[in-house]
Amino acid sequence: MSTPGAESERRPWGPAVLLCATVLLVPVGAPGATVSIPALATDLDAPAAVTNWVINAFMLAFASALAVAGALADRWGRRRMLAIGLLIFVAGNLLIAAAPAIWAVVLGRAVSGIGAAAITTGGSALLSSSYRGAQRATVFAILGTSLGLGLAFGPTLSGLAITAVGSWRGLYLVYAAVAVPSLLLARRVLPRDLAVSRPERFDLAGALTWTVALAAFMIAVSLGPEAGWVSWPTAAAFGVSVLAAIAFLAAERRADQPLIELALLRVRQFGAVCLAVTLAAFGFVSLVFTLGVFLSVAHGASALGTGLMLLALTAPTLVVPMLIGRVAHRLSLRWLLPGSMLVIALGCVLLAAVGPDGPMLIAGPPMVIIGAGFGLSLAVLDGAALAVAPAGREGMAAGMFNTVRVGTEAIAVVVVTAVVHTVTSTRVGAPAAAALLSGRPAAGAAGIAAYSAGWQVALVAIAALCAAGAFVIRRQLRPERDAGGLRRSPGAGRGSRRRASAEPAAYAPRS
């Protein structure tokens, strides 16, 4: 029975609805843009080395700006940061819609990524500060569902938009238009920010060196297939990345509030969870962002057809976590996380066996398996990252886990693309490979066969990585022995004991 005090704490649902709808823009727009690449690359006569940055620029900007936006939200206000993010997001998409050349598209995507980071941090922080207790839990469950829906249906909705308006430029006008109502309603519907009297000191040196290291690495990997892996531009970019990474590590050791708490990586179980999210980036996220171009070239799929096919990959991520969430507390994390990686590996092997000659629908079942494997990990990863963290450091663990997540997603997309590009180039030459990866058919049937071979190599490599990683994760999640010789589950109450046969339990699913 609720008390009058509890009832008085309940807040109106309007802000939650608006915020969830606003944050939904990010998972729809990020992977959804992949269905526009073949058309815009042909229209703008864009080389593959630059076209790849339609995806890379967004991922890099989003990963780099996320921590900065969170710190600025505490200083400037969460509602203001959300509004700034929406303005930046609209401006970026308008720039893309009016782009005279591919460089403007890439710039617009980078601007959109910065806006998406501000929307994500401002929106989630406003939800956290605006609601309390059970209502807050419900609100974040709705937010999680919204993000899952956006990821699952983003490519399909984007394909529908292109089909409806008849132009890739129209897709980005739609992205800009749907953000405008949130911008207009923000001041009217959203509450004033709760005051932050003393925001934490921000790790500016860490953020800058992290961004430089990540950007230089992505540039180096993008240059490798065309300029050559031992060419001076590629080597210089790799060198800058290494130097920036060293500077980043030095900055993190000195920082009062580091972007990444390096000591947490020495916690065996937390390192295992970070490895799992890294493998998931390669095994699932990279495919969401890159597989659409292959379906368009190898199978002649339209923007709408590509979006519908990608639904086979993304839809399980919405369904599986809900099913596993009902029994997650009964399952062993030591079996569930490695098992999810093995399911992804199986799906990748099966997808690699699908050639370009058969119907495109044959690729559907392997894509469903990959999505289901990712959904298994999605159900428990966030909760596991906090549960295995040392007592009193859960907040820092959450921040580090999300930094690792977005950083490895950006890296995974560019690495997988580079592998496909390199293998394709060895078979049909660099110009034809560049055209194929830009979404334009080249070299006839030989070109499609070479492109398919590139994807087969990439998928088998991903499968091997996930399978090997599953073994490491299982080993790293083995129960610890306490001073009395009994095994203790990671994440269990500190000092609690279990029988020697006890294993780490799975944790509450991500809503």
Say if residues 342 and 280 touch (Cβ distance below 8 Å).
no
* Tokens found for residue 224: 């490798």
The DSSP secondary-structure symbol of 481 reads E
Of 496, 506, 489, whose CA–CA distance to 268 is shortest?
489
Whole-number Å distance between alpha carbons of 449 and 433 = 11
Residues 319-366: tens digit of each pLDDT: 888 787 666 667 778 888 999 999 999 999 999 998 777 788 899 999
Express each pLDDT in 236-272 by its tens digit.
999 999 999 999 999 988 888 787 778 887 888 889 9
Measure the CA–CA gap between 488 and 470, rounded to whole angstroms: 21
3-state helix, strand, coil in the chain (%, to 5): 80, 0, 20
The residues, ordered by sequence, that sit 6+ positions from 414 with a Cβ below 8 Å of its Cβ are: 52, 56, 59, 218, 221, 222
User: What's the predicted TM-score (pTM) here?
Assistant: 0.83
Helix (H, G, I), strand (E, B) or coil at 480: strand
pLDDT at 418 over 50: yes
Domains, the chain: 12-193 (1.20.1250.20), 257-511 (1.20.1250.20)
- Residue pair 401/273 in contact (Cβ under 8 Å)? The answer is yes
Distance between terminal CA atoms of the chain? 25
| Contact (Cβ atoms closer than 8 angstroms) between residue 456 and residue 448 | no
Residue that the structure tokens 């699908």 belong to: 354
Q: What residues form DSSP beta bridges with 505?
A: 332
The CA distances from residue 49 to 61, 417, 439, 479, in Å, are: 18, 10, 12, 46
The answer to which of 73-82, 290-299, 305-314, 389-398 has the lowest mean pLDDT is 389-398
**What tokens does 433 get?**
């490979």
CA 94 to centroid of chain Cα atoms: 23
Whole-angstrom distance, CA of residue 441 vs CA of residue 31: 22
* pLDDT range class, residue 125, cuts 50, 70, 90: confident
Which of 81, 85, 192, 68 minimizes the C-alpha distance to 129? 192
Give the CA-trace dihedral at 222, 223, 228, 233, to 10 degrees: -140
The rounded distance, in Å, linking the Cα atoms of 201 and 257 is 7
Distance in angstroms (rounded) separating the CA atoms of residues 303 and 324: 32
Candidate from 58-67, 150-159, 434-443, 462-471 with smallest mean pLDDT: 434-443
Token pair belonging to 211: 């961004």
